[in-house]
Each structure stands twice: as structure tokens, then as C-alpha cells.
Structure 1
Amino acid sequence: MAKRKLKWNEDKRQDFIEQGRGNGIGADYKPWLNIQDFPSMGRVSRVFGWKTKRIHHLFTDIQTRYFYLLEWEDSVLDIREHFPLLDIDEVIKEKDGLDFALFTDRESKTPYVISTTFLITVKDKSGIGYIARSIKAAAELEKKSSLEKAEIERRYWEAKEIDWGIVTQKDIPVTIAKNIEWIHSSLYDYKERGFSEEDIIFMSSNLMDLIYKRNQTIKDIITAFERDCNYEAGTGLYVFKYLIASKQIRIDMEKEIDINNLVISPSEGKDFRKVGGVIAAN
């Protein structure tokens, strides 16, 4: 367990509950843990979510990259990170072989609240359902505490009849995740750039027309777009990112996006291809 900024005890646990942590859906959900709870977590991320319209708290690069894959997947409706298993005692009937003492504060003797990295709401042909995913570095799976926690989570979600699995860095297509990260912020920050919704719609339409009409690299097209329309440098690249993020044009997300060499034909751009299978787990 990572060292907490404040000592863990029953009062702290009750404080988290009173704050509403672990409750809500969509924009109203509050994760059980956030980055302010820890003195240092290395490369943490706070990302505004497409699906939820709220800030997500992510503690590792692996969590962040998997989050981007979930954002890109059309079947995903909601993403709840660090979801607490508050009713674990009632849900897990078969406790034989589980060592809950590993997850108890040594000083206060208060049990830590075990959480699953992501509880994901998905929609498919059969309707709306849920899947749970624990994100781990592969090396963590060699540790007794990690394996014990995984078994507790497995039994919990099995009792809930919710599909659960572990995802490591080996399961994540890094190029796709990095491409999504590259375009991710463009979808909703146009107002911060001084554009209205009408502006971004107008610019997107104009740039898309140029992309379909000209058999040129994206770099050449956005250069002409900025020059002919008298836009500031960087505007064309931003609008191009927006077109990808809003899925108005298609590119191969399995390849690194290189605007210096990327050429998009009309048939490619209008027939967007989803990247499937990103919510699979071992």
C-alpha cells in the first residue's frame, strides 16, 4: 500500500464516506482515492473525461493509458476510477484463504478500503452492463500483497456477477493510447482557446473539405488552411486534432500520427474505423 498523507483510522474512513467518495455516476462520481491523498505518487495525471465531464485521478502511466483507451471506445458510457468495495464483508461469503490482515493499518488496526482501479459502464446489443478492471504493472503480480488483493477483488466481483480482470502494460497498445492522449484535450478546450462552438464547427468543416479535396500531407494542408484563412499558427493543427477526437475523420490509430507524411483519402476519412477490444483483460 502507498503511504498516505494522513494516518488511516476509523475517523478518516468515516470522513471519506461523508464526503461521498465512491458514490455517484458520471459527473457526480467521486473516486475513493485522489492524488491529493498521497504525498508523492510520481507521474500522476488529472484528466478531464470525455464520457463523464469531470476530472479523473490516475496514479500511474498504465492507468492513464488504459483510461484513454476507454475514452476512445464507443461502447463505454461511464468510467469510475478507484471504486471502493465498501460492502466487501457482506458480498464475499467465502472468505477461506483470504488474508485481510495484509490490508490493515498497523497503528490504528483499521482495515483499508480495497478499491478496484476502474468500474466501467458499457452498452452492447444486450443492453447496459458493467465490467471491472484492475490495472497493475506486471512486476506487481509477483508480490504476495498484490496477488492477495487480486483474489479478494476476483471473489467480490464474481459474487456481484460482474466481469473482472487484470490489465498490465503488456495488454495495452501504447501507440493507440499515445495517439488518443495527443488529441484528447482538443475535444472540449476550444473555448479556452477563444473559440465558440460555431467557430469550431465552421473551422472543422473548412479543414475537412481541404483534407478531402487535396492529396497532400496534413502538414501542408494545415499550413495552407492557416495562411488562406489568416489564422494564428497552431490553429490548423488544433482543428485537425479536434476532427480526430470528434471522430469526423478516420486515421489508423495503430500507427504513430505523423502529420509530415500523413495523407488522408476521402474514402478513408469518411469511413471511420473503431479500435476494438481495448477493454479485454487476462
Structure 2
Amino acid sequence: MKKVKQPTIFNEEIVKTEMYLKEIAKNGYKPWVSIRESKTHGRAHQIYSYKTGRSHKLLSDGEAGLFYILERQPDVIDILEQFPLNIATTMEIAVEQNTFHPSRFKDRKKYNNVLPACTMTTDMLVVRQNKNKLNSEAYNFKYSKSLDSTKTSPISVARTEKKIAIEREYWKTERIKFIQATEKCLNKALIHNLIYLRTFYLNYQQINISADFEQVICQKLFDVFQTQNALTIKQGLELVAVQLNITVQECECIFKKSIYEYKLPVNCYKLLVLDRPLSFVANAKEMITYVG
């Protein structure tokens, strides 16, 4: 088999990486690829997470949906989007696989028509904490059509698969689980619900409700919706608000928080609509959604 000629790792890329690592060590994490630098046009998202305490830059609707699902999971403590991979390692893997390493074709004229290698990234490196143990998972998101040669150019699909193979092998060498996600892993109703539910963060700090009273509200919500299952969500919230002498806004805030934090066993795969009844799950284990 003919050996693939690889692009060149120039000192400029190494210096860029060193500066990036110094910056995140000093100021905290930031993605290697910004929305402005990406090839995404019009579908990028900037999402502030109260869980991680920073804004996350997601480059597609699919990445944003995956982010919402991962952010909610109790053991997830951080999500590092557009995470850079060590270019020397990915180049070694590309050589071993006889696969062309990603490059910046448009910049070749700056280097006397020599192709410069570019740093590869993983869409999300997810950090989980179980008791005192930390572990990570690497997620690559692709729309399924980009992996289907009947819907996308076979040449393009082959190239995408080769890039994924480099990325997968990279994380294998790091002993980190690699997960290939597509939009088929994502439930639209769930994502819609999570976008609604996570807004409790905006109001929770403003309402003066103790942790003990919050538990009382949560239990009352459960009792009302369980015993009067024909009530719409709006009717149930209004009823609980009157019974506990709180505002409907306060009640809705605790309602959203309780579902988001898995305290109310609500079926989040069914669209939450205020003028429709609430649907519970039979088994609490069904409440937590994992991708991969």
C-alpha cells in the first residue's frame, strides 16, 4: 500500500498550543475552536451553564441538544467542548493508520505550498464524578447523514470516518471511553423540556424558600398530580400555590427544579405543555438519560 504523505507540524501550531495551555491554566477552560473560527453558519449556540459556571460554545443544534442532556446528568461536573488533541499523538496515529491527518489547506501559501497540519478536537470531553473518583468520556457528534454514503458523497463519508478513527484511537491510548453520537441518540421532546426546565436557575436565587419548604412543595406537587391526574400542569401549579400560600411563579420554579433534579418522577420524553396533564414514569431509573 502506498504511504500517505502527511502535512507538516509547524512550530507556529506548537507555540499556539503552548499559549492556549498557559491561558486555560490561568483563566480556566475555553474551547480550542470558537464559534467565529468554526465553519458553522447560523446554527451555533452559546449556552451559559449554572452547573459549570461558564458559557459553552456549541457548533450545531445537535451538539447543543447533546449538551443539554449531559449537563442534567447528576454525575457530570464539567463539559469541555471543542477539546484539543495533542497534535504529535494524532499525527503518530495517522501515520500508523496510513490516513491523511487534518490540515489547513487554505493556509498552504503561507508555508511555501507545504500543507500545515492542524490540531484536531473532540466535540465534548465530559468529566464525571462518582464519590471521589473522576473519570472522563469523549463524545463526537455527527449528523447521521454525514456517515451515510447513500445520503452524502462516499468520498466525504470515507474522509469523515477516517478522522473519527484517528480520534477514537487517540482516546483509546488515553484509556478514555469514546462515544459516537448522532441526532438519533437525541429525543426532541426531552431536549425541548430540558431547555424549559433548566430556566429555574434564573429565578431560584430570587425566591425566598428554604430547603425544607422546598421539599414540602415538591411532595405536594407529587401528591396533587398523582391523585388528580386529569389536571393540566397549569391547574396543578395554581392549586398547589393556593394550598401552600405561595405565588404561581414560585411554585413553577420549584416544579421545574424538582423535575430537572430528578425529585419528581416525570416522563420527560413526553412534551411538557402547561395546558396538558403531567405524565409520570413508573420506575425512577427511567428518569436518567444516558447517551452512548
Distance across 1 between alignment mates of 2:22 and 2:47: 18
Residue 275 of structure 1: CA displacement? 3.7
Following superposition, the deviation at residue 98 of structure 1 comes to 1.2
2:267 counterpart residue number: 252
Matched residue, 2:209: 199
* Aligned AA (1:260): D
1:27-58 per-position Cα deviation (integer Å, ceiling 9, x unaligned): 93211122233486312211122442211111
**Number of the residue aligned with 2:116:** 110
Q: From the superposition, tell whether residues 164 and 82 of structure 1 become closer, same or farther in structure 2 (CA, over 3 Å).
A: same
The equivalent residue for 2:7 is none
2:62 aligned partner: 62
Q: Which residue of 1 aligns with 2:290?
A: 278
Measure, in 1, the Cα distance between the counterparts of 2:170 and 2:31.
Answer: 18
**How far off its partner does 1:210 sit?**
3.6
Query: What SS is found at the alignment partner of 2:203?
Result: coil
Unaligned residue ranges in structure 2 (runs of 5+)? 1-9, 150-155
Residue of structure 2 in register with 1:6 after alignment: none
Which is richer in helix? Answer: 2
Residues 212 and 76 (structure 1), Cα distance of their counterparts in 2 relative to 1, 3 Å cut:
closer
Give the % identical residues.
19
Q: 1:252 to 1:230 in 2, by over 3 A?
A: closer
2:166 to 139, 143, 152: 152
SS at match of 1:100: coil
Contact 1:16 1:32 in 2 (8 A): no
Matched, 1:243 2:267: no
Whole-Å Cα distance in 1 between the matches of residues 191 and 136 of structure 2? 22
**Deviation for aligned residue 1:199:** 3.4
Superposed CA RMSD: 3.6
Q: TM-score, normalised by structure 2?
A: 0.73
Match of 2:137 in 1: 131
The change in CA–CA distance for 1:98 and 1:264 in structure 2 (over 3 A counts) is: closer
| Residues 99-118 of structure 1 deviation map (CA, whole Å, 9 limit, x = unaligned) | 02555444334322110101
**Hey, what's the Cα distance between the residues in 1 that align with 2:246 and 2:138?**
48
Distance 1:95 1:43 in 2: 34
Distance 2:220 2:128 in 1: 36
How many Å separate the matches in 2 of 1:70 and 1:246?
13
Distance in 2 (CA, whole Å) between partners of 1:71 and 1:41 is: 24
Preserved contact between residue 51 and residue 77 of structure 2 (Cα < 8 Å) = yes
Give the TM-score normalised by the residue count of structure 1.
Answer: 0.76
Aligned counterparts of 1:256 and 1:29: Cα–Cα separation in 2: 34
Q: 2:199 maps to what in 1?
A: 185
What residue in structure 2 maps to residue 99 of structure 1? Answer: 100
Structure with higher Rg: it is 2
User: Quick one: which amino acid aligns to residue 68 of structure 1?
Assistant: Y
How far did 1:260 drift? 2.8
Structure 2: distance between partners of 1:155 and 1:279:
20
